[in-house]
Chains A and B, each alone.
Chain A
């Protein structure tokens, strides 16, 4: 029997860690990427990577608390065993990256330094300057290069994944891919294919994501039958720098250091912001949230900034939505000392000094919590069973998904600095299972009938030729992409309304029809970026549709998904007994909502091109769901009522799960 061979698509943190571990296990790996793997989107992560560490442990932190913070931050919309396994692995993963040479910041004594991030009370986040993602990626890239020199890994850079190849039983036997330089097609027989292709930010036009984050690979797997989970959960970061080409992140620390958010009271006031007097400025966050001011939780800040521009029409600029983030009242020396690095980014891209001119910022699509549905094998201890072939396997046997493109770890909302952990973890952890699955197959892919691959190749060649041959079409793929992005950004980001979602769904279908009439401006067969982009735009529609449909059907608020019609406001009463009554009603409603909606949205691509939505129950056996009350008026009363109910429920059961009474974390989740 031939040596097992695995095809990994995508060379970010997840793809590289899977490749490294597989090569170490003796599996031959083909590693494919749209760009040289060292240029993957993981480089954009700035903040850090979370894990319990020796310091936090002595302050009472445990892996269990990291699990609790993650599922609470995610509003309980994730299966808990994989998250438990991930948080258990955290310390080992940081140690490994440390050994690989990542230049983590150090304490005076030479230990790794940690900082605190949102959604936790502990300093769990290890970091390397302001480029932690870049540094982690480079360390893995270097190890994979080592295996490449040894001949255990073969890289296919500047290649595009077009479709998985399925046999008659529905098992994935390889893939068809295209060389982006020569435009040649090639079939890759493989015993397993692992997708590690990241998020789908470009469905929203511009986002904080890199240009390769089109979601096309995931969409192609979905269109081939793989199920997609929780697509409607898209994280929007409150403060990004709007750019003509992309939206760049502006760290939350700008507000942490005293930055004030405001808009001119007169719509689109043309004056230099420095000349607008105080009385004519509207500090809307400070005004509406006197207690928290500019440091309201991320989802609230995002919603308010979005609403002031759209609903209130008070955007600073007429043609572009943005508000001022003002640091100019803070002494320059203080700014340089505390925020130097991030202010330089603003200056570099805007050509304006934010120490003397207020920055213009707006929320931006940042992360896809949803992704391909993947399986896991629960272990006896409540985690994931290492080496089980179904870990990280999609609904198509033999096709795996890891990193941002799976739906597994972040539920309805991701905590800062948890994404790097989930990427490296899922990559390392899936490898033994993938190898076990490859070894147990009766016939290896290389011996499968050639006809299977020839048919798939022909299908892709025909799609390609048909695109090139389109004549007389009057539609421009770049314009259609812009329209899709504007539409999705308007209706499916921060605030979602059913009538808007329903009409946007029809609009997306119309855009998809118009896309059929795109004609290409480049019909050649050499480094044709035009046809590659056009294909990826075409593959955005199935994703846009499942995001919209999932959001439309989900009549509740959970994590990043917010519908005003389903919002559960805090307590209005001021008199204690009335407050108490309202809190009881609030908890009744919460319990009813949990029963109805604490389920993963599962989308399958229908033959008619529309997503078929079903719901999947969630394994919350480790930590029972509880309300997220951060910033809610009367939250303390609700919490009191909730805890009483939990105590009663606990008393009613003989054995109680461990974490029922754990305190509500105070930090802002995101």
Chain B
């Protein structure tokens, strides 16, 4: 096998310097066998192929099941599904940056760092194994802000409300949020909450204690943006007060430190800071209104 350097390539059709076949991609993965265990680095070499992304690198690692030093190792565990950047599964830290592994192209990564590709699990969520983390808190936050339209039911009541093209264009980008968690990983106010099972504790008790712990933490940019989405929907706004109650509760919008990292890392370019600003203004109006309603 060639040991020549990955970056020693020729000029590709698109004009970039890209590695050629026969070269090797060096990969360093931060592994962890299970929750509450020590993490450790492991190096892998993967034969370079054109148009590789991090997913195909991980697929090659799984198939080879050998570390760079030749030791037989268990395949690296990771989450993925659609591989088209619409399902939100494959979030990880690639070269230190939170992003989707499916759109992390090897050629581009080697431009960032020709030496190696570094893969780490997200740091704000409990590690399940290797690159797999438990993002249940992302979905729990959607429950907190009641991110849904409160319809009567699924029986036929004719069409939904008339919506102007402007309203649709406003709502659509917010509705493309795939709960990937990038905005949370990048947020300084969103800190890791990890709840371990106590001896004698049932799965149900653990789940309840975990949800309570999550509910004390910052709800996150994604959930604030969803609250804005539904508070601006003609039917969704019928429970706007309940969403505002959730957004102004501890762990709500006041925790946002305006670092604006969320919008910078969102793979779907959702205007998260705009949503936060809108929610902030709405919270102020709502607080004043509540004061006078008393």
Contact = CB atoms under 8 A, between A and B. Distances in A.
B13 A273 contact: yes
Contact of B128 (A38, A272, A273, A527): A527
A670 B180 CA distance: 33
Nearest to B103: A348
Given A110-B164, A243-B51, A95 B128 contact: no
A353 B158 CA distance: 44
A108 B165 contact: yes
B219 interface: no
Nearest to A272: B13
A38 B81 contact: no
Contact of A145 (B132, B142, B153, B158): B142
A43 B81 CA distance: 10
B81 A428 contact: no
Interface string A104-138: 11111111100000000000000011010011001
A98 B164 contact: no
A529 B75 contact: yes
Nearest to A356: B14
Contacts of B73: 521
A106 B164 contact: yes
A476 interface: yes
A347 B156 CA distance: 42
B86 A44 contact: yes
Given A106-B165, A134-B86, A243-B56, A349 B34 contact: no
B202 interface: no
A149 B129 CA distance: 28
A628 interface: no
Contacts of A128: 172, 175
Interface in A81-105: 92, 94-96, 98-101, 103-105
Contacts of B85: 348
Interface stretch (A244-252, A448-456, A507-515, A642-650): A244-252
A481 B153 CA distance: 44
Contacts, number: 204
Contacts of B139: 36, 38, 145
A581 B270 CA distance: 64
B116 interface: no
B176 interface: yes
A350 B51 contact: yes
Contacts of B79: 35
Interface string B76-88: 0101111111111
B205 to A, nearest CB: 16
A244 B168 contact: no
Interface string B29-41: 0000110000000
B176 A131 contact: yes
B189 interface: no
Nearest to B130: A527
A99 B151 contact: yes
Nearest to B87: A39
A134 B178 contact: yes
Contacts of A39: 81-82, 87-89, 178-179
Interface string A128-160: 110100110011001101101100000000000
Contacts of B142: 142, 145
Given A106-B165, A527-B132, A38 B88 contact: yes
A479 B62 CA distance: 11
A451 to B, nearest CB: 25
Contacts of B255: none
B165 A210 contact: no
What secondary structure prevails in chain B residues at the interface with A? loop
Nearest to A243: B51
B160 interface: yes
Contact of B83 (A36, A210, A273, A428): A210
A215 B181 CA distance: 29
Nearest to B105: A351
B74 interface: yes
A557 interface: no
A110 B49 CA distance: 49
B72 interface: yes
A522 interface: yes
A526 B129 contact: yes
Interface string A237-280: 00000011110100000000000000000000000110000000
Contacts of B89: 35, 39
Contacts of A350: 51
B13 A357 contact: yes
A104 B168 CA distance: 7
Nearest to B151: A99
Contact of A131 (B86, B103, B159, B236): B86
A478 B62 contact: yes
Contacts of B56: 243-245
B162 A110 contact: yes
Contacts of A528: 74
B102 interface: yes
Contacts of A246: 83-84
A567 interface: no
B34 A526 contact: yes
Nearest to B14: A352
Interface in A333-351: 345, 348-351
A592 interface: no
A181 interface: yes
A195 B98 CA distance: 35
Interface string A339-376: 00000010011111100010000000000000000000
Interface in B36-83: 49, 51-53, 55-56, 59, 62-63, 65, 72-75, 77, 79-83
Contacts of A352: 13-14
Interface in A11-40: 17, 20-21, 24, 35-36, 38-40
A211 interface: yes
A377 interface: no
Nearest to B157: A99
A244 B49 contact: yes
B125 interface: no
B28 interface: no
B177 to A, nearest CB: 8
A146 B148 contact: yes
A401 to B, nearest CB: 21
B143 A149 contact: yes
A460 interface: no
Given A39-B88, A245-B102, A273-B13, A101 B233 contact: yes
Contact of A357 (B14, B53, B143, B153): B14
A457 B8 CA distance: 54
B277 interface: no
A417 B149 CA distance: 25
Contact of A129 (B147, B172, B179): B172
A473 interface: no
Contacts of B80: 211
Given A100-B151, A138-B175, A350-B51, A526 B168 contact: no
A524 B74 contact: yes
A526 B33 contact: yes
Contacts of A143: 148, 151, 154
5 contacts: A38-B178, A95-B159, A101-B160, A478-B62, A530-B74
Given A43-B82, A243-B51, 12 more contacts: A38-B179, A39-B88, A44-B84, A112-B159, A128-B172, A131-B86, A138-B175, A146-B148, A521-B74, A521-B75, A522-B65, A530-B65
- The 10 tightest CB contacts between A and B, nearest first, are A521-B65, A98-B160, A478-B63, A142-B148, A522-B74, A244-B56, A110-B162, A527-B129, A101-B149, A99-B160
Interface of B: 13-14, 16, 33-34, 49, 51-53, 55-56, 59, 62-63, 65, 72-75, 77, 79-89, 102-103, 105, 107-108, 128-130, 132, 135, 139, 142-143, 146-151, 153-154, 156-160, 162-165, 167-168, 171-172, 175-176, 178-179, 230, 233, 235-236
